[in-house]
């Protein structure tokens, strides 16, 4: 399985401000968006192209255009803030929301929103969720997308825990993971350490 963890200085700088407990929701949302844009560059590096001839002001030449239809799959709520960032670089990507929350006791994902149409409308899906903790939410979303019929799936997060990466490796080794950082471990409540706290609450001011 492929796991990409960014070493880009801009990502490290922005992530540190996100981690800071005194960063307010407005700044936090801006940083989620900016890191998502930076990670999009890596996440889309293997998208397929087809030839597109182009007339410049000076000459006729061979160009290229994206061949694949990309679907963004934000996991509600926290994945929502990453959509705008990815759209900066992929403005025509479709967005299909999946609603999952973690049961506080079992830490298992509970599905509450899914309006995917019968047939897939995209050839590549990029799942967006800032936190890959136990990995349960990511695995459940990939299960849904594979059942929908999508063959090419990627996961883009901000922080991943080793426990979540391991679960992905066991359940969906074909899905590459793109992260801003890999942290140390989960605490007894399933939160990532050192992490950044609750990514949904910090974006929406509900903590
Ligand atoms: C958070 C986060 C992920 C999930 C990660 O969502 O945004 O979706 O937890 O945990 P896991 O890897 O252990 O499944 P949460 O349940 O807090 O819902 P929210 O986004 O609505 O706040
Ligand atoms: N969900 C979050 O928002 N933060 C964590 O650390 C783990 C799961």
Q: What average pLDDT values come out for the chain (207 residues) when binned by 10 residues?
A: 96 98 98 98 97 98 97 98 98 98 94 97 98 98 98 98 98 98 97 98 96
pLDDT score of 1: 80
Per-residue pLDDT tens for 106-157? 999 999 999 999 999 999 999 999 999 999 999 999 999 999 999 999 999 9
Our mutation pick for probing the ligand 1 site, out of 99, 171, 200, 204, counting the most ligand atoms within 8 A of Cβ, is 200
Between the CA of 101 and the centroid of ligand 1 the distance, in Å, is: 6
Strand partners, 75: 98
pTM, entire model: 0.97
Percent of the chain with pLDDT over 90: 99
The class (CATH top level) of 3-53+62-204 is alpha beta
pLDDT score of 120: 97
CA distances for 199 relative to 32, 41, 48, 53, angstroms: 9, 22, 32, 44
| Ligand in closest contact with the CA of 164 | 1
Residues 6+ away with beta carbon under 8 Å from 168: 1, 132, 135, 138, 139, 155, 175, 177
pLDDT score of 113: 98
**What residue's CA is closest to ligand 2, atom 2?**
198
Between the CA of 175 and the centroid of ligand 1 the distance, in Å, is: 19
> Does residue 204's CB lie within 6 angstroms of at least one atom of ligand 1?
no
pLDDT score of 130: 98
> Does residue 99's CB lie within 6 angstroms of at least one atom of ligand 1?
no
Between the CA of 150 and the centroid of ligand 1 the distance, in Å, is: 23
SS (H, E, C) the chain: CCEEECCCHHHHHHHHHHHCCCCCHHHHHHHHHHHHHHHHHHHCCCCCEEEEEEECCCCEEEEEEECCCEEEEEEECCCHHHHHHHHCCCCCCEECCEEEEECCCCCCEEEEEECCCCCCCCCEEEEECCEECCCHHHHHHHHHHHHHCCCEEEEECCEECHHHHHHHHHHCCCCCEEECEECCEECCCCCEECCCCCHHHHHHCCC
Atom of ligand 2 at shortest range from CA of 200: 3
């Amino acid at each position: 399985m492929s796991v990409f963890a960014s070493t880009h200085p801009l990502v490290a700088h922005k992530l540190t401000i996100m981690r800071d407990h005194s960063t307010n929701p407005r700044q936090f949302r801006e940083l989620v968006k900016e890191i998502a844009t930076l990670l999009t560059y890596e996440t889309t590096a293997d998208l397929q192209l087809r030839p597109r001839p182009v007339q410049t002001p000076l000459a006729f030449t061979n160009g290229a255009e994206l061949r694949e239809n990309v679907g963004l799959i934000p996991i509600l709520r926290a994945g929502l803030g990453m959509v705008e960032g990815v759209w900066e670089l992929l403005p025509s990507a479709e967005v299909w929301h999946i609603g999952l929350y973690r049961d506080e006791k079992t830490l298992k994902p509970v599905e509450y929103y899914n309006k995917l149409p019968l047939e897939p409308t995209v050839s590549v899906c990029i799942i967006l969720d800032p936190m890959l903790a136990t990995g349960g939410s990511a695995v459940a979303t990939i299960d849904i997308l594979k059942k929908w019929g999508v063959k090419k799936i990627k996961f883009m997060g901000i922080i991943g825990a080793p426990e979540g990466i391991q679960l992905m490796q066991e359940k969906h080794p074909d899905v590459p993971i793109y992260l801003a950082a890999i942290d140390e471990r989960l605490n007894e409540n399933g939160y990532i350490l050192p992490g950044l706290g609750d990514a949904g609450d910090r974006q929406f001011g509900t903590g």
